[in-house]
């Protein structure tokens, strides 16, 4: 059941999730946040699940042989092996979410995309250009921050 939720969450594009949640919750930031959350859950779940499947089982077996509880096995054998992957995938997903969030407003899910859509609808091309430059600057800043975090954490 868990794998089904992760696969279905990941298989639907964020814009489609946003359209669905705009229909459920109405236009606004909440729809965009939930859309990004749904897509991110599937992405993170898949990659972290694969990382857990690839751990060195000898550490798990060693702790189990000493009679350690399942919680201790997870805490001391699995988590330390998966932590670098968790940080790498988390930073990657944050970077992707930043990029996706800039356009979710185009479907009514809040954010800078709402302002962009309004400027396009009123043919305010200078405002459109300013917003696009702001989006580019935001993505570049996000990329620089993600690169810095990768160096610090990984």
Q: What CATH number should be reported for the domain whose range is 2-153?
A: 1.10.3720.10
Query: Are 76 and 91 contacting, i.e. CB atoms less than 8 angstroms apart?
Result: no
Is the pTM higher than 0.95? The answer reads no
Q: How many CA atoms lie within 13 A of 96 on its CB side?
A: 16
Helical H runs in 54-124? 57-65, 70-73, 79-101, 112-121
How far apart are alpha carbons 45 and 33 in whole angstroms? 18
Confidence of residue 129 (pLDDT cuts 50, 70, 90): very high
pLDDT tens readout for residues 14-72: 888 888 999 999 888 898 899 999 889 988 988 888 899 999 999 999 989 999 899 99
The domain limits of the chain are 2-153
Backbone φ and ψ of 66, nearest 5°: -85, -5
Q: Where residue 154 falls among pLDDT bands split at 50, 70, 90?
A: low
> Is 152 a residue whose pLDDT tops 80?
no
């Amino acid at each position: 059941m868990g794998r089904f939720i992760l696969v279905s969450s990941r298989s639907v594009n964020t814009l489609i999730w946003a359209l669905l949640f705009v229909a459920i919750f109405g236009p606004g930031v909440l729809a965009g946040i939930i859309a990004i959350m749904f897509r991110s859950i599937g992405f993170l779940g898949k990659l972290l699940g694969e990382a857990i499947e690839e751990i060195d089982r000898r550490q798990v077996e060693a702790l189990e042989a000493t009679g350690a509880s399942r919680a201790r096995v997870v805490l001391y054998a699995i988590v330390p092996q998966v932590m670098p992957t968790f940080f790498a995938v988390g930073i990657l997903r944050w970077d992707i979410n930043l990029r996706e969030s800039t356009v979710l407003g185009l479907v009514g899910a809040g954010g800078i995309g709402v302002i962009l859509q309004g400027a396009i609808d009123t043919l305010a091309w200078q405002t459109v250009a300013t917003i696009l430059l702001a989006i580019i600057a935001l993505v570049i800043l996000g990329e620089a921050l993600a690169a810095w975090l990768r160096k610090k954490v990984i």
